[in-house]
Amino acid sequence: METKIIFQDNDVQRIVFHYNKQHNSDTTIPPWIVKHKGQTYYVHHLDSKVGFSTKETPDNEHTKASLMFRGKLSIVEQNGQTIAIIE
């Protein structure tokens, strides 16, 4: 199993995670979105070793709620899947 690092940040930062509605109409698009430092990553899976809180955004046209983490983010590719890891 080969793992390729796409992105890694060793600073503890705020990370926002929510469902990608576009996945409902096009399953080739990964089902999850991770936002970190103004960048958006489309991922198939998220592994977290830290807790989270919820964030409701009822007036946002894109997503009504998300999960917020504080941790170190890595984005890796493994077996053709993009995976976010939060530690």
The answer as to whether 84 is a domain residue is: no
Give domain status of residue 40, yes or no.
yes
Each residue's pLDDT tens digit, 30-45: 999 999 999 999 999 9
Q: For the chain, what is the domain count?
A: 1
Assigned domain for 86 exists = no
Global pTM value:
0.91
Rounded Cα gap, residues 27 and 25, in angstroms = 6
> Which residue in 16, 44, 10, 40 sits closest to 30, CA to CA?
44
- Residue 47's domain comprises 11-74
Confidence of residue 60 (pLDDT cuts 50, 70, 90): confident
